């Protein structure tokens, strides 16, 4: 159902140090992201997990959800559609931050496909809401413009043979973010299409761990 949210606390011996919000792809459900969420928690046992459902019913599967309509979607109207839901995304994330007692810099948005686009646009258009993004098989609705300030680390993981969202979008995003001095990583996974595999999930969580470590090390110098 649209609006349904699954919440999982950190492992029993930990209190919440991070908040991970998982955003599924179009035509999927929040349940589809729960296994991914637990794989991230295996590497981050102190993370609280939030797995919301898309805001609208899918137009191709009545049992699934989407964040915004994909019917008649074009490069011209994609930004408008994503921007229209961002206040609801921001409200959701801020509510969960308050509930978990986790600050913005320890909040991570993790999304696949349409969910990854929502995550990327959120940190672009709502500065300071999250400290990092892990985006799988995703793209910006529109690449950040010169002078844009994005205060989040961005980790892009994309299939080499993705026929739904071309790897070109991830490559362009990585170059644009690097030019803006945004910490960014890009991994193109060989022989992978538009899908999430165990190795791709582990790669994204590894990049997130490395980014957190690098950030901590930078503050010590």
Among 11-20, 145-154, 210-219, the least confident range: 210-219
- The answer to whether 177 and 184 are in contact (CB under 8 A) is yes
Q: Which of 30, 113, 137, 138 is catalytic?
A: 113
Q: How confident is the model at residue 138 (pLDDT cuts 50, 70, 90)?
A: very high
Residue 212, pLDDT > 90, answer no
User: What pLDDT is stored for residue 213 in this prediction?
Assistant: 80
Q: What is the CB-side half-sphere exposure of residue 42 using CA atoms within 13 A?
A: 12
Element (H, E) at 176: helix 167-179
pLDDT score of 102 more than 80: yes
Phi, then psi, of 175 in degrees rounded to 5? -65, -45
CA–CA dist 80, 205 (Å, integer): 30
* Residue 119 confidence (pLDDT): 98
194 is catalytic: yes
User: What is the pLDDT at residue 97?
Assistant: 97
Percent of the chain with pLDDT over 70: 95
113 is catalytic: yes
Asked if residue 129 lies in contact with residue 40, where contact means CB atoms within 8 angstroms, the answer is no
pLDDT recorded at residue 215: 63
Phi, psi of 111 (to 5 degrees): -135, 150
The mean pLDDT value for 115-144 works out to 97
| Structure tokens, 173 | 């995003």
66 pLDDT exceeds 80?
Answer: yes
Model confidence band, residue 1 (pLDDT cutoffs 50, 70, 90) = low
187 as an active site residue: the answer is: no
The active-site residue, picked from 18, 30, 162, 205, is 162
**Nearest of 12, 41, 190 to residue 110 by alpha carbon:** 41
Q: Could you give the CA distance from residue 211 to residue 176 in angstroms, rounded to a whole number?
A: 19
DSSP string, 189-210: ETT--SS--HHHHHHHHHHHHH
- In the chain the domains, ranked by start, together with CATH numbers, are 5-220 (3.40.50.1820)
At 99 the pLDDT is 95
pTM (two decimals): 0.94
- The catalytic residue among 46, 83, 161, 194 is 194
Q: What is the pLDDT of residues 166-187, one digit of tens each?
A: 999 999 999 999 999 999 999 9
């Amino acid at each position: 159902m649209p609006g349904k949210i699954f919440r999982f606390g950190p492992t029993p011996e930990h209190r919440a140090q991070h908040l991970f919000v998982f955003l599924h792809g179009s035509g999927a459900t929040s349940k589809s992201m729960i296994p991914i969420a637990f794989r991230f928690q295996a590497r981050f046992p102190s993370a609280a997990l939030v797995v919301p459902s898309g805001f609208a019913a899918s137009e191709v599967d009545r049992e699934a959800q989407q964040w915004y309509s994909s019917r008649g979607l074009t490069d011209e109207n994609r930004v408008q559609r994503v921007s229209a839901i961002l206040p609801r995304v921001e409200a959701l994330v801020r509510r969960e931050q308050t509930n978990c007692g986790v600050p913005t810099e320890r909040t991570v948005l993790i999304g696949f496909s349409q969910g990854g686009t929502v995550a990327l646009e959120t940190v672009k258009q709502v500065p300071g809401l999250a400290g990092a993004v892990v985006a799988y098989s995703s793209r910006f609705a529109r690449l950040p413009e010169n002078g844009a300030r994005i205060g989040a680390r961005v980790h892009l993981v994309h299939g080499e043979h993705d026929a739904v969202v071309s790897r070109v979008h991830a490559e362009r995003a990585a170059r644009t973010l690097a030019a803006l001095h945004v910490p960014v990583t890009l991994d193109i996974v060989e022989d992978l299409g538009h899908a999430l595999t165990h190795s791709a999930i582990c790669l994204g969580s590894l990049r997130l761990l490395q980014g957190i470590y690098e950030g901590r090390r930078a503050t010590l110098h």
